[in-house]
């Protein structure tokens, strides 16, 4: 009788739902906060958000980000203000996708997409330059030839948390709130991010428009 006991386990598994999928033809949906390849965002007017402040490089535990700032050319400014990111490089052989750079960024210039499937045949190619990281004119991350983008991976690439009110609105000082932004790539806030009213609200119930309202009143 003993061996029937062994088969019992096998038979039980036959009727359970299957968890293996046919990767790479078939893919599992990724978690909402999945950290993939970075993108450098632009404002709607085409200005780059990156101001070359190097806070991302400073906070990076893997020391994989290299940024150099430069004076904005007065006639053709690249970003608002005095300084822009002249060099921006991420070495993906080192990056651990911890997202600390995203948290440190004061302008939401750097955020992450959900793309993780990209490979290189030499070390040099593993260093993404600013040109490759920067979103295209339509605000979408560039789909580079060696990257395997799937639907939805380039959506909702903006940041998660804004802790304070950069616009000087005293009501928001020190309050963890969601500051929505105009343009492409906005993803909805999570429960509790809009303040007390929406505490516990399920994520999927909040639309982008609500976010925009909630953030700026």
Partner 1 sequence: MTEQTETKKDTVTVTVDGKTFEAAPGELVIAAAERHGIYIPRFCWHPRMKPVGMCRMCLVEIEGVRGLPPACTTPVAEGMVVDTRTPVVKKAQDGVLEFLLINHPLDCPVCDRGGECPLQDQTFSFGPGESRFVEEKRHFEKPIAISELVALDRERCIQCARCTRFADEVAGDPLISFVDRGDHTQVLTFPDDPFTSYFSGNTVQICPVGALTASPYRFKARPWDLDQVESTCSTCAVGCRVNLQSSQNDLVRMLGVDSEPVNHSWLCDKGRFGYQAVEHDGRVTHPLVRKGDELIEASWSEAYAAAAKGLADVRDLHGAGAIAFLGGARGTNEDAYAWAKLAKGVLATDSVDCQLDDGLPAAAVLGLPRATIDDACRAKAVLLLGPDLKEELPVLYLRLREAVVDGGVAVVELGPQSTGMTRHAKTTLLYRPGEAVEVARALTSGRDPMPDAGGVRGEELAAAAGILGRAGEGVVVVLGRPSVAESGRTVAEAAAVIAAAWPQARFLPALRRGNVMGALDMGLAPGVLPGRVGLDAGREWFSQEWGVLPEEPGLDAAGIVGAAAEGRVQALVLLGADPINDFPDRTLARRALAGAGFVVAVDTFLTDSSREADVVLPAAMYGEKAGTTTNIEGRVTRVNQKVTAPGTVRSDWIIAAELAQRLGGDLGFDSTAAVWAEIARLAPSHVGLTADVLGRRENRDGVVAPYEGEGPPRHEAPVEQIEAAAAVHQGETLPSEAVAGAPEHAAVDEPSDDDDPAGAGRPPLLTFAVGDAGSTAAPPAVDAYALRLVAGRRLYDNGVTVRHSAHLAGLAPSPRLRANPYDLDRLGLGTGDRVRVTSSRTTLTLEVAADTGIPRGSVALPFNLPGEGAADLIDGTQPVTDLRVETTN
DSSP one-letter string for 6-30: HHHHHHHHHTSPP----TTTS-PPP
Tell whether residue 103 is a contact of partner 1 (CB under 8 A). Answer: no
**Which of 36, 52, 189, 214 touches partner 1 (CB under 8 A)?**
52
Helix (H) or strand (E) holding 216: helix 208-216
Tell whether residue 71 is a contact of partner 1 (CB under 8 A). Answer: yes
Q: What is the 3-state secondary structure (H, E, C) of 60-92?
A: CCCCCEEEEEEECCCCCCCCCCCEEEEEEEEEC
**Which of 9, 76, 170, 182 touches partner 1 (CB under 8 A)?**
170
Binders of partner 1: how many residues, by CB under 8 A? 22
Nearer to partner 1, 104 or 212 (CB): 104
Site string for partner 1, 108-147 (x = CB under 8 A): ----------------------------------------
**Which of 35, 49, 107, 206 touches partner 1 (CB under 8 A)?**
107
**Do you find a cis peptide bond into 204, omega within 30 degrees of 0?**
no
Q: How far is CA 111 from the centre of its chain?
A: 4
| Nearest alpha-carbon partner for 104 in 51, 45, 46, 183 | 51
**Which of 46, 168, 200, 202 touches partner 1 (CB under 8 A)?**
168
How many Å from the N-terminal Cα to the C-terminal Cα in the chain?
71
Tell whether residue 83 is a contact of partner 1 (CB under 8 A). Answer: yes
**Which of 32, 93, 98, 106 touches partner 1 (CB under 8 A)?**
106
């Amino acid at each position: 009788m003993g061996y029937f006991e062994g088969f019992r386990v096998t038979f039980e598994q036959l009727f359970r739902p299957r968890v293996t999928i046919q990767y790479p033809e078939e893919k599992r949906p990724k978690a909402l906060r999945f950290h993939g390849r970075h993108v450098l965002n632009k404002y709607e007017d085409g200005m780059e958000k990156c101001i070359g402040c190097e806070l991302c490089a400073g906070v990076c535990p893997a020391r994989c980000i290299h940024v150099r700032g430069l004076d904005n050319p007065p006639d053709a400014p690249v970003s608002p203000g005095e300084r822009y990111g002249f060099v921006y490089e991420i070495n993906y052989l080192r990056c651990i996708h911890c997202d600390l750079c995203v948290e440190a960024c004061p302008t939401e210039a750097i955020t992450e997409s959900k793309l993780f499937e990209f490979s290189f045949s030499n070390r040099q190619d593993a260093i993404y330059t600013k040109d490759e990281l920067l979103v295209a004119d339509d605000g979408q991350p560039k789909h580079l030839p060696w990257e395997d983008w799937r639907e939805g991976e380039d959506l909702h690439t903006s940041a998660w948390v804004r802790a304070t009110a950069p616009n000087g609105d005293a009501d928001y000082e020190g309050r963890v709130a969601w500051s929505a932004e105009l343009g492409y790539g906005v993803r909805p806030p999570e429960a509790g991010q809009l303040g007390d009213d929406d505490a516990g609200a399920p994520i999927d119930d909040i639309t982008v428009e609500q976010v925009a309202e909630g953030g700026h009143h």
